[in-house]
Chain A
Amino acid sequence: MTDINDYLWETIYVLKSVYDHDPDAPVLNMYRDSVIDGDYVGEIAYNSINQFFADTREYYDEEKELDIHVFFDPVITEFWKLCDEYEERRRIRPEDDTFRKDMCRALDAALYIPDYSYDFRLYSDTKHKNGCRLVLLCYCEFCGYHYIPEALSEACDCFVFHTKQIKRRWRRWTGRK
């Protein structure tokens, strides 16, 4: 008989986050035939990390015992490019750009996980050879993987929403549709 515990609901919660982002996400198919079980929570969460952005790369730093997840997506690049254009047009410094500041605040909130052993970095330099990206660092004591899919889903929504905002402002200035 299935043990009905909090982890069981967490597994469904993780897959629901994925489904809300993309109902055809491969991870939903991957677990289609698996019997619902709270023991899967870590595995499902880990396998869901790459379902939100177009390209996800994973690395492991053995020396620091650090799991590194790097996310690339056209929506990330587009947002920072629009910020660059906005700053150039208004002749303001990036640190004075309200779109940048709003985005950083929104991502801070979206990527908040109740666990002390993680961090994330934003790379917004559009001219950098590695491109714009979001990096999630999970240290060896990190045990909040089940929070990550929802956080990433919200982060992705932040990029989509703020890109729309900056485009709307752009249109208002230029009068272009």
Chain B
Amino acid sequence: MQVDLNVLRQKLKETPQEETVDSTEVNPYLLNEVLRPLLAGKELRYGDIDYSRFEADDLRMISHYCDIRDRVICRLYELVGGIADSAPSACSGRAFC
């Protein structure tokens, strides 16, 4: 695999920032008040949870959302690993004076 880092950097800059996994079906309370703080490393206690703000089925949904999210992250790590493992090659043209 050959990657031109300049092109990659340019493409990444141009790509709009958006959610990699669709969260429209996920209960907003569980997403914003439970999952995101947990991902940010915050320690939540069972007493912090407001059980009236979601349905039992919402927990199945967010668990599924986390699975998809984990798979996306895995693929991203594979891609990053692939780039990191590739041997560097010199530019064919002169790059500096």
Chain A residues within CB distance 8 Å of chain B: 1-2, 4, 6, 9, 11-13, 15-17, 19-20, 23, 28, 31-36, 150
Provide the bound-state CA to CA distance between A133 and B57, in Å. Answer: 30
Residues of chain A within 8 A (CB-CB) of B54 are: 16
On chain B, the residues within 8 Å of A15 by CB distance are 46, 49, 51
Q: Give the chain A neighbours of B63 by CB distance below 8 A.
A: 6, 9
Q: How far, in Å, is B49 (CB) from chain A's closest CB?
A: 6
Q: Is the CB of A20 within 8 A of B45?
A: no
* B60 neighbours in A (Cβ, 8 Å): 9, 13
B38 is an interface residue with CB less than 8 A from chain A? yes
- Chain B residue nearest to A13 (CB atoms) is B59
Bound-state CA distance A20–B34 (Å) is 19
CB distance from A151 to the nearest CB of B (A): 13
The residues of B that contact A4 with a CB separation of less than 8 Å are 35, 38-39, 66
Query: What's the Cα separation between A11 and B51 when bound, in Å?
Result: 12
Contacts of B46 in A (CB 8 A): 11-12, 15, 28, 31-34, 36
State the CA gap A52–B56 with chains docked (Å). 17
A2 near B43 (CB under 8 angstroms)? yes
Do residues B62 and A9 form an inter-chain contact, with CB atoms below 8 A? yes
Residue of A nearest to B37 (CB): A2
A20 surroundings in chain B (CB, below 8 A): 51, 56
Contact status A1-B41, CB under 8 Å: yes
| In the assembled complex, B93 has its CB within 8 A of some CB on chain A | no
Interfacial chain B residues near A36, Cβ < 8 Å: 38, 43-46, 49
**Nearest CB of B to A27, in Å:** 10
Contact B59 A12 (CB under 8 A): yes
Provide the bound-state CA to CA distance between A31 and B44, in Å.
12
Contact B51 A16 (CB under 8 A): yes
A to B CB contacts below 8 Å, 5 in the list: A15-B49, A19-B52, A31-B46, A34-B46, A35-B45
Contact A35 B44 (CB under 8 A): yes
Across-interface contacts of A16 in B (CB, < 8 A): 51, 54, 56, 59
B47 contacts the other chain (CB 8 A): yes
A6, A12, A23, A28 pick with most chain B CB within 10 angstroms: A12
Closest chain B residue to A35, Cβ basis:
B43
Chain A neighbourhood of B51, CB < 8 A: 15-16, 19-20, 23, 28
Q: Which interface residue of A9, A31, A32, A150 has the most chain B CB atoms within 10 A?
A: A9
> In angstroms, how far is the closest chain A Cβ from the Cβ of B77?
17
- Bound state CA distance, A147 and B45, in angstroms? 22
Bound-state CA distance A32–B43 (Å) is 13
